[in-house]
């Protein structure tokens, strides 16, 4: 068996502060708004709240550009609001996990303002500077061909010093130089500052990018038509990553803190295990990106790719079995603030299917081995923006830059429309629309027009109509979290077995702990579909949960209805 730990038994709920709940009617969510909903969150069965960045920030990237790590963005509240939030959560036996964004700062951070002011600044070496490259015609070029996550070069030129600084994300997000021990000390102090204040852990943003290949070599040309190239091989999981993570891991262990790292662009469990294997004392778990990149074409993140259920099975099986066998731990998610809504993306938001589909995905995700992360609104089956929304409704710089780049490349109108449709499916803004609290104006999120439009379906799809409805998506998520709490042996600590690796309509898996077995059967089909339950599971038992609510036993040949989910416990 595997070692027990509180963070393995915890259900996590992610909050995006701008979109959760507005308390003072300025159209922007805030910390008092969150405080007003703590009972709602507790009621789902949540143990840990992960709060996206709420620090002082010019908000070029929704707070992932931090200007002061020890203060709060005015529109979200104050430090004393955070203290109240911590207390409110602790009183309800929940914990608070903050977002630690230390691959980069804002260009408005004191450190960077000083660094860019002069080559002699004591903070110059907090960032990464390189001389220009001189082109064949004597022209000035960036030091290499790396492409930024938000399009364009990863290098920004500074006239004053005739040097470029590195930014893997926006130019307003200069990368910190982790080679500098002073940077690491500052980060450690920030970590202690928040843990001492009562925070219970961190989600570590883009954490596998902190150690770069210091030669900054050109990236291989993988996209011949593009000016700049994907360079993740040169900065993801770099040479000193584990040394840095052990340093942070030590402090985190001192406080028994929660930790989940974000490891984009890296789907190799042999590398990931080096971060999450218990004996290595780095992080508790990481977010890998294999599921959420499965539906992107090689042409780019927002070009669609058709996926097969067998691929999803292969991915899930790979991570589930690998982590279980190697003392690792999975962070399970289908949504976050960087992704489209799962019901629209991986199942169906057609009115006749939406509720079943959202519950089926809850079962799919919620009963796997790992810690489950639910993103605000996912517990309500919130859907993507409607296909009537044009690019003018988007707010996210990544999506807008991507779209503009496609348009400027001279793509045909048809290709532009394909990209726009894909942005409505996967673009980051889909999950950033205001949470739908009730059927009043602006979905009860605010009394004024919010910073982002509310999705038009809020009159029907909202929290007020779901909280007390036993058949709602919300109540179904409660049941999932109840199963995780009530059957820890099997649903938290049990092993995982993929039951049928080839069927393209039904995803079935078993969880096993000693002589206890649970079988989870999920249909991804929009039609009735017949499936044969393997012999070994046809034993005396009980249905623990089913999204159609009328299944009480298993027989060998079952007709799975559209997006049906059945959880069967053999006892
Ligand atoms: O995202 C890191 C990351 O790797 C991004 O490229 C992310 O995958 C992107 O949305 C997909 O292209 C984190 C945060 O989650 C994101 O919101 C921030 O914008 C980013 O870091 C920069 O801090
Ligand atoms: Ca507000």
DSSP string covering 289-356: -HHHHTTEETTEEEEE----HHHHHHHHHHHHHHHHHTT--BEE-S--TTS--HHHHHS--STTTHHH
Instruction: Check whether residue 161 and residue 196 sit in a common domain.
Output: no
- Is residue 39 annotated as a catalytic residue, yes or no? no
Distance CA 231, CA 221 (A): 9
Q: State how far the Cα of 509 lies from the Cα of 499, in Å rounded to an integer.
A: 5
369 and 459 in a single domain? The answer is yes
Report the distance separating Cα 38 and Cα 364, nearest Å.
26
Average pLDDT over residues 106-113: 98
State the pLDDT confidence band at 478, using cuts at 50, 70 and 90. very high
pLDDT (0 to 100) of residue 123: 98
ipTM of the complex: 0.96
Q: What is the pLDDT of residues 458-473, one digit of tens each?
A: 999 999 999 999 999 9
Q: Is 102 in the pocket of ligand 1 (CB under 6 A)?
A: no
Contacts of 424 (CB under 8 A, 6+ apart): 340, 384, 385, 386, 387, 389, 430
Domain identity same for 71 and 134:
no
The pLDDT of residue 265: 78
Residue 54 lies in a domain: yes
Mean pLDDT to the nearest integer, 416-427: 98
pTM score, whole prediction: 0.98
Residue with CA at minimum distance from ligand 1 atom 1? 206
* Residue in 169, 237, 294, 430 to alter for ligand 1 test, most ligand atoms within 8 A of Cβ: 169
Statement to judge: residues 186 and 268 lie in one domain: yes
In a domain, 330, yes or no: yes
In a domain? residue 83? yes
Q: Are 276 and 196 found together in one domain? A: yes
Give yes or no: residues 64 and 190 share one domain: yes
Specify if 511 maps to a domain. yes
Residue 458 covered by a domain? yes
**DSSP annotation string for 111-134:** HHHHHHH-TT-TTGGGB-EEPPEE
Average pLDDT rounded to a whole number, residues 208-220: 98
- Domain with residue 128: its CATH number is 3.90.400.10
Q: Does the annotation mark 205 as catalytic?
A: yes
Model confidence at 571, pLDDT cuts 50, 70, 90, reads confident
Atom 10 of ligand 1, nearest CA residue: 338
Identify the three-state secondary structure at position 357: helix
Question: Does residue 4 register a pLDDT over 90?
Answer: yes
Domain at 307, CATH number? 3.20.20.80
Same domain (yes/no): 542, 441: no
Does 483 fall in a domain? no
Residue 174 falls inside a structural domain: no
Per the prediction, the chain carries an average pLDDT of 97
Angle, helices 354-366 vs 473-486, to 10°: value is 20
Q: Are residues 203 and 77 in the same domain?
A: yes
Give residue-wise pLDDT tens across range 264-294: 877 899 999 999 999 999 999 999 999 999 9
pLDDT-derived band at 360 (thresholds 50, 70, 90) equals very high
Domain at 524, CATH number? 2.60.40.1180
CA distance 163 to 258: 39
Q: Domain range holding 156? A: 110-166
Quick one: 468 and 564 in the same domain? no
Question: Same domain, yes or no, for 288 and 344?
Answer: yes
Kindly report, residue by residue over 498-517, the tens digit of the pLDDT.
Answer: 999 999 999 999 999 999 99
Q: What is the pLDDT of residue 183?
A: 98
Nearest Cα neighbor of 174 from 161, 195, 156 is 156
Between CA 267 and CA 441 the distance in angstroms is 43
Q: For residue 252, how many other CB atoms are within 10 A of its CB?
A: 22
| Residue 289 CA, closest ligand 1 atom number | 8
CB of residue 61 inside a 6 A radius of ligand 1: yes
Euclidean distance between the first and the last CA atom of the chain, given in angstroms as a whole number? 19
- Same-domain pairing of 235 and 349: yes
What is the percentage of the chain residues whose pLDDT exceeds 90?
97
Ion ligand 2, residues whose Cβ is below 5 A away: 22, 24, 26, 28, 30
Q: Same domain, yes or no, for 73 and 134? A: no
User: Which pLDDT belongs to residue 1?
Assistant: 74
- pLDDT given at position 266: 78
Count of domains for the chain: 3
Q: Which of 30, 156, 262, 422 is catalytic?
A: 262
Q: Is residue 466 part of a domain?
A: yes
């Amino acid at each position: 068996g595997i070692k027990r730990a509180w963070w393995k038994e915890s259900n996590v709920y992610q909050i995006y502060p701008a979109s959760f709940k507005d308390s003072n009617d300025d159209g922007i969510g805030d910390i008092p708004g969150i405080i007003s909903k703590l009972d709602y969150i507790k009621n789902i069965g949540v143990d840990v709240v992960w709060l996206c960045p709420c620090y002082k920030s010019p908000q070029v990237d929704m707070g992932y550009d931090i200007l002061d790590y020890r203060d709060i963005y005015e529109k979200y509240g104050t430090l004393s609001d955070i203290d109240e939030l911590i207390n409110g959560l602790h009183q309800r036996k929940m914990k608070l996990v903050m977002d630690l964004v230390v691959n980069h700062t804002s260009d408005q951070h004191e450190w960077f303002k000083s660094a860019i002011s002069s080559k002699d600044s004591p903070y110059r070496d907090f960032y990464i500077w390189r001389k220009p490259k001189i082109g064949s015609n004597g022209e000035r070029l960036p030091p290499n061909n790396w492409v930024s996550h938000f399009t364009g070069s990863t290098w920004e030129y500074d006239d004053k010093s005739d040097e470029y600084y590195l930014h893997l994300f926006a130019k307003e997000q200069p990368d910190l130089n982790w080679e500098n021990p002073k940077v690491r000390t500052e980060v450690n102090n920030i970590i202690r500052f928040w843990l001492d204040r009562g925070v219970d852990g961190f989600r570590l943003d883009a954490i596998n990018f902190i150690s770069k290949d210091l030669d900054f070599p050109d990236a291989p040309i993988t996209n011949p038509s593009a000016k700049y190239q994907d360079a993740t091989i040169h900065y993801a999981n770099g040479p000193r990553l584990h040394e840095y993570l052990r340093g942070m891991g030590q402090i985190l262990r001192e406080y028994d803190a929660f930790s989940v790292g974000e490891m984009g662009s890296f789907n190799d469990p042999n590398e990931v295990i080096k971060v999450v294997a218990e004996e290595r004392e780095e992080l508790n778990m990481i977010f890998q990106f294999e599921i959420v990149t499965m539906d992107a074409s090689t042409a780019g993140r927002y070009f669609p790719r058709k996926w097969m259920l067998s691929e999803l099975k292969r991915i899930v099986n790979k991570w589930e079995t690998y982590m279980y066998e190697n003392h690792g731990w999975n962070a399970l998610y289908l949504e976050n603030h960087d992704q489209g809504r799962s019901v629209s993306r991986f199942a169906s938001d057609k009115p006749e299917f939406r509720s079943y589909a959202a519950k089926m995905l809850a079962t799919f995700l919620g009963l796997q081995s790992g810690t489950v992360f639910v993103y605000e609104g996912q517990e309500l089956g919130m859907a993507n923006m409607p296909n009537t929304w044009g690019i003018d409704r988007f707010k996210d710089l990544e999506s807008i830059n991507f779209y503009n780049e496609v348009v400027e490349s001279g793509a045909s109108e048809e290709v532009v429309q394909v990209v726009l449709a894909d942005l409505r499916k996967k673009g980051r803004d889909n999950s950033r629309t205001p949470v739908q609290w009730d059927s009043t104006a602006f979905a009860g999120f605010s009394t004024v027009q919010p910073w982002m439009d509310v999705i038009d379906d809020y009159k029907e799809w909202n929290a007020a109509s779901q909280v007390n409805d036993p058949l709602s998506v919300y109540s179904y998520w409660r049941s999932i979290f109840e199963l995780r709490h009530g059957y820890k042996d099997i649903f938290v600590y049990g092993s995982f077995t993929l039951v049928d690796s080839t069927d393209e309509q039904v995803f079935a898996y078993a969880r096993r702990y000693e002589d206890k077995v649970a079988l989870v059967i999920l249909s991804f089909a929009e039609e009735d579909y017949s499936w044969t339950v393997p012999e070994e599971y046809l034993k005396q038992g009980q249905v623990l949960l089913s999204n159609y609510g009328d299944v009480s036993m298993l027989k060998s040949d079952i007709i799975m209805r559209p997006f049906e989910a059945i959880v069967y416990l053999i006892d």
